[in-house]
Structure 1
Amino acid sequence: MKSFEMYHPLVLFYYFMTVIGMAMFFMHPIYLVLTFMEAVLLNFLLLRHGFWKKLMMYIPLFFIMAIINPLISHNGELVILYVNDNAVTMEAICYGMAMALMILAVIIWFNSYNGVMTSDKFLYLFGKLSPVLALTISITMRLVPRFKHQIHIITQAQKTIGMDYTSGSVWERIKCVTRILSILITWALENAIETADSMKARGYGLPERSTFSLFVFEKRDGWLLGVITLLAGISVAGSFLGYTTFYFYPTFSEMEWSLTSVGFYSVYAVLLAIPIVIEIKENIKWRYLRSTI
């Protein structure tokens, strides 16, 4: 059981949008490292064994994105070498790594968001504001995972009757892949018809249609929402004061380690650690209760 996902959908959505929004604009190295490390830790706590498989895809993606910037940008004062009379600078390399780290951190935070914010929570938040838009976004977000799951089932079923796309000649592999895609498209069309019939039977779109939800905004949700707002407000104030600003060009700006800057770093770290602390706390509590049985 994921403990953090038990909070109210409003709190979950507000937290992830706040954190992801700041992660996209804070390019200071300290903030980048904090964002990435705590995103990885939270993702591990939520996904457990499935995280390591995804981590293997993140590593080459990081290096690809980090290499691109020095090849297209030649700004900077610390020249390492020349490639076809184009300077490769330390500033360009570090900026490429910073951009790659920021993009990967945002991807991992969104991955955690998808693991916590299910489609029913999203519909609960935005269904009354714009039912059609909320339903469209919810169906779209579920589309890729469902297609991946279904294509795995179809592939395994085809292998049992000798239609293995990983073996045989090129023509036989093409035939197998075409058959799998044909079955997948047929399943998708049938599923769309069933979904439409189910929505019609449930009275979707009728003005008198009532809705039911299990989500209740409790006292703990209010406290957590207030804490998130306070910490986020302090972090944004630090950004306006320039503590999240770091320049890579024309050369590196000075890293500040004053008492005030460390305070802003700590506040941001605490903000990112909120779901991690909740998960670890509940895991310890669960293990203790199991040990007393």
Structure 2
Amino acid sequence: MCDTFSSYHPAVNFLYFTLVLLFSMFFTHPVCLGISLVCAFVYSIYLNGKKAIRFNFLYLLPMLLVTALINPAFNHEGATILSYLWNGNPLTLESIAYGIAAATMLITVICWFSCYNAVMTSDKFVYLFGRVIPALSLILAMALRFVPKFKAQLKVVSGAQKCIGRDSSQGGILPRARQGVKILSVMVTWCLENAIETADSMKSRGYGLPGRTAFSIYPFDRRDRRALMVIGGLGAFIFAGACAGGISFRYFPNMKGAGGSPLSVALYAAYMAFCLTPVIINVWEDRKWKHLQFDI
């Protein structure tokens, strides 16, 4: 599916993901964790389709269950004792709830980062920080770009080796190890050659010279200003409400937090609208496009 939010200015994308990741990491209220998890799942599926569904349900959900089960075995704090483990340590309701909350936070952040990688490409990151921190932004952009290139080249090399009878997935341990070492040697050579070509290309294009200008393909228009105001406004309201205790929650020694006060309900609604902002933008643009097609 075409993601309209990805076509917005990089500053809009970066501000959104910075806020949503910070909120997901620091808001421990169960309602906020649930909202962020569901919205992250929805947006990742919208971006990556079946690949995201497979990743979310085959990897993230089992990770949630394992992490939630491990925490009560090591964390025994809490006032509500449900039972006792085989080693005599108490099993408390608070430790179980905190384990579920911590696991939810973990997979939510991973899911949001998968959306970030799909939207915030390396050229957007370099565009934002190339003049402020040029060396660091270049290193991060090259590192993020290197992993998918390495995986794609590894598939090419493995396929070529398999065509000439050097399949590293069949045979005994020693033949497979020898073929794996050969493939590794080829990949190391490719990495070194690619690094030399990249350095020569950067040098020929004047990287590091004083007065060198940067080409910008990201105009900041009225649509970006509106999105920046909405994201900034919702983020400021949520942050102010969190500082006022509208979504506070504690797990130890007993669970207690903000409930259904008008401020809390308003913050829940604002947080849901904030997390769903990319999906809302995409749905609105899709409906507008269908409406225009119908008029034609």
Please give the range of the TM-score, normalised by the shorter of the 2 chains: over 0.9
2:72 alignment partner, one of 70, 73, 85: 70
Q: Which residue of 2 aligns with 1:251?
A: 254
Q: Does 1:155 align with 2:158?
A: yes
Using the TM superposition, give the Cα deviation of residue 51 of structure 1 relative to its aligned residue in structure 2, in angstroms. Answer: 0.6
Using the TM superposition, give the Cα deviation of residue 274 of structure 1 relative to its aligned residue in structure 2, in angstroms. Answer: 0.8
Matches within 5 A, 1:179-258: 179-254=182-257, 256-258=259-261
Q: Which residue of 2 aligns with 1:145?
A: 148
Does the 8 Å contact 2:78/2:94 carry over to 1? yes
* Cα distance in 2, alignment partners of residues 60 and 49 from structure 1: 18
Using the TM superposition, give the Cα deviation of residue 291 of structure 1 relative to its aligned residue in structure 2, in angstroms. Answer: 6.6
Q: Does 1:92 align with 2:95?
A: yes
Q: Does 1:25 align with 2:23?
A: no
**SS at structure 2 position matched to 1:24:** helix
**Residues 78 and 5 of structure 1: CA distance in aligned 2, closer, same or farther (over 3 Å):** same
- Computed over aligned residues only, the root mean square deviation of the Cα atoms, in angstroms, reads 1.6
* Cα distance in 1, alignment partners of residues 194 and 158 from structure 2: 18
Give the gaps of 5 or more residues in structure 1: none
Percent identical among aligned pairs is: 41
| Letter in structure 2 aligned against 1:40 | F
| Letter in structure 1 aligned against 2:26 | F
Count of aligned residue pairs for this structure pair: 293
Q: Which residue of 1 aligns with 2:282?
A: 279
Q: Does 1:47 align with 2:48?
A: yes
* Cα distance in 2, alignment partners of residues 32 and 265 from structure 1: 11
Does the 8 Å contact 1:78/1:91 carry over to 2? yes
2:62 alignment partner, one of 51, 60, 63: 60
Does the 8 Å contact 2:247/2:257 carry over to 1? no
Does the 8 Å contact 1:45/1:279 carry over to 2? no
* Cα distance in 1, alignment partners of residues 201 and 74 from structure 2: 52
| Letter in structure 2 aligned against 1:34 | I
2:139 alignment partner, one of 133, 136, 141: 136
Using the TM superposition, give the Cα deviation of residue 260 of structure 1 relative to its aligned residue in structure 2, in angstroms. Answer: 2.2
Q: Does 1:121 align with 2:128?
A: no
How does the TM-score come out when normalised to structure 2?
0.94
* Cα distance in 2, alignment partners of residues 89 and 153 from structure 1: 52
Over residues 168-190 of structure 1, what are the superposed CA-to-partner deviations in whole Å (9 max), with x where a residue is unaligned? 11111111211111111111111
**SS at structure 2 position matched to 1:104:** helix
**SS at structure 1 position matched to 2:84:** strand
Over residues 4-43 of structure 1, what are the superposed CA-to-partner deviations in whole Å (9 max), with x where a residue is unaligned? 0111011110111011111110000000000000011011
Using the TM superposition, give the Cα deviation of residue 77 of structure 1 relative to its aligned residue in structure 2, in angstroms. Answer: 2.4
Using the TM superposition, give the Cα deviation of residue 254 of structure 1 relative to its aligned residue in structure 2, in angstroms. Answer: 5.0
